[in-house]
Amino acid sequence: MAIVIQPYRPEHEPAVQEFNRRLQQSSGDPNLVFSSKAIPRWLPPADNNPVWNELFVAVEGSFVRGAYGLKQEVIFVRGKGAYRIACYHHPLSEGIIDRSYASVGVLLARDALARQPFLYALGMGGSERPIAKMLKALGFSLTPIPFYFRVVHPQRFLVEMQALRQSRWRASMMSIAAATGAGWLAIKTAQGVASLRTRPGDFVVEEIGEFSDWADELWNRAKETVHLAAVRDANTLRLLYPSQVSTIKRLRVGRNGTAIGWAIIGERRKDPKFGQMRVGSIVDCWASPENAPAVVKAATQALEKDGVDLIVSNQSHHLWWRAFERGGFLKGPSNFVFAASRKLTELLQPLEEDRSSFHITRADGDGLPANF
C-alpha cells in the first residue's frame, strides 16, 4: 500500500501513538516520540498569527510510518525584506527501526521542501548526525552556530565533568582547563580576563510577563544591524514566549527609562552530558550592538541569582560573540547546526560573507518552550 503524507488530524492520533510505541520499543530511545496530539501545544495554527506549527504524518493504510513538523515563520533579510520560511523539525521515520521503510526519511524531507522551498533545520546534534547528513545530501548548506559557556560554580563544574570522563564536552572543557592552568582557578582566570573588558554601562533589568510595544521599537531599531533574523516584534514574541509558560523568564533591560534590549532565560532540563549540574541558558536576546553587552550581563546576573552552575548560549552574530566574550563567556565546541535549503541558501547569498551577521539563537527552530 502506498505511503501518503498528509496533515496530521485527530483521527491519526491512535496510529501516531502506536508509531511512537513501535519506535520506543525497538530503539529503546525515549526521545523518539512524535506529538501525540494533532494540534500542536506550542504555536497552534490560528488566523492571522505570523508564526505557527503544523504537523504531518506519512500514512500507510491504517498505520503511521513517519511524521514531521513545520514551524512557519517570517524572517527579515537585510536589503531584501520579509520572507515566509519554515523550520523542518521532529522528522521521524519507521526506517529507524525497520529498514524496509528506508524510503520514508527521503519522502518526509522532500515533502517538506515541496511545501516550503525556503526551508531550514536547526540543532540536529551536529553535522555528522543522520538528519544533517540527509539534508546535506539534499543540497542544504550547513553552518555550526557557535556555543558559549560560563562556569558559575567551578568546583561543582569540575566534579561533574570529572564524572563525565567519556564525554566529548568534558574533553574539551578539560583541555581548556589544562591549557590555561588547572581547575577552578584556570576557569575563573579565563572568564575573568574576558570580562575585564566589559563596560556594559548602567542598566536596569525587569522581569516581564509579556512583551509589548517597546519591543517593536527595539526590533525596528536593531534589525538593520543583522543580515538575517526571524522577526522578533512584540506580536511574534508574545506568541513565541506566551505569558503562561513558566519555564522561561522574559527580561526587559532598560537605561534612563528606555528599553535597550531584552533576553529570554531559563534553566535547561537535566541532561546526562551535564551530569547533576544546574544549567542555565540565555535562550534568546535582542538589542542594538552597543547595548548587547548590557543584555548579556543582565541575563547572566539573573541566572546566577537563580543558582545555576553553568550558563550556556548559542549565538551566530559576531557582535553578540563579542558581547558574550566580554561578559566572561568562553567558546566551546558546537553541535548546534543551521541547515538552509538550496533556495534559502540562494536567498542568503553571499552566505559565506554574511553568515556571521545572522542572528540565530537557541530560540530559533523548534526548541521552545521547554526544549532549549
Partner 1 sequence: MTPAVFDQIRAMASDIFGVPPERITVASSPQTLENWDSIQHLNLVLAIEEKFGLQLSPEEIEQMKSVGETAKLVESKLQATSR
The residues binding partner 1 (CB under 8 A) are 2-3, 5, 93, 95-96, 99-100, 102-107, 109-111, 130, 133-134, 137-138
Considering beta carbons, is residue 112 or 228 the nearer one to partner 1? 112
How far apart are the C-alpha atoms of 227 and 74, rounded to whole Å? 14
The candidate with the shortest Cα–Cα distance to 323, out of 270, 287, 274, is: 287
Cell of 219: 526590533
Q: How far is the CB of 108 from partner 1 (least distance, A)?
A: 9
With H, G, I as helix, E, B as strand and everything else as coil, classify residue 221.
Answer: helix
Considering beta carbons, is residue 2 or 179 the nearer one to partner 1? 2
Q: How far is the CB of 111 from partner 1 (least distance, A)?
A: 7
Cell of 9: 488530524
Considering beta carbons, is residue 314 or 341 the nearer one to partner 1? 341
Q: How far is the CB of 107 from partner 1 (least distance, A)?
A: 5
How far apart are the C-alpha atoms of 262 and 120, rounded to whole Å? 25
* 350 prior amide bond cis, ω within 30: yes
Q: How far is the CB of 137 from partner 1 (least distance, A)?
A: 5
Q: How far is the CB of 104 from partner 1 (least distance, A)?
A: 7
Other beta carbons within 10 Å of 343: 15
Q: Which residues of 234-243 are buried (b: 16+ CB within 10 A; e: fewer)?
A: bbbbebbbee
Q: How far is the CB of 139 from partner 1 (least distance, A)?
A: 9
In this structure, the chain runs to a length of: 372
Considering beta carbons, is residue 93 or 314 the nearer one to partner 1? 93
Cα R_g (the chain), whole angstroms: 21
How far apart are the C-alpha atoms of 135 and 340, rounded to whole Å? 9
The candidate with the shortest Cα–Cα distance to 53, out of 284, 365, 372, is: 365
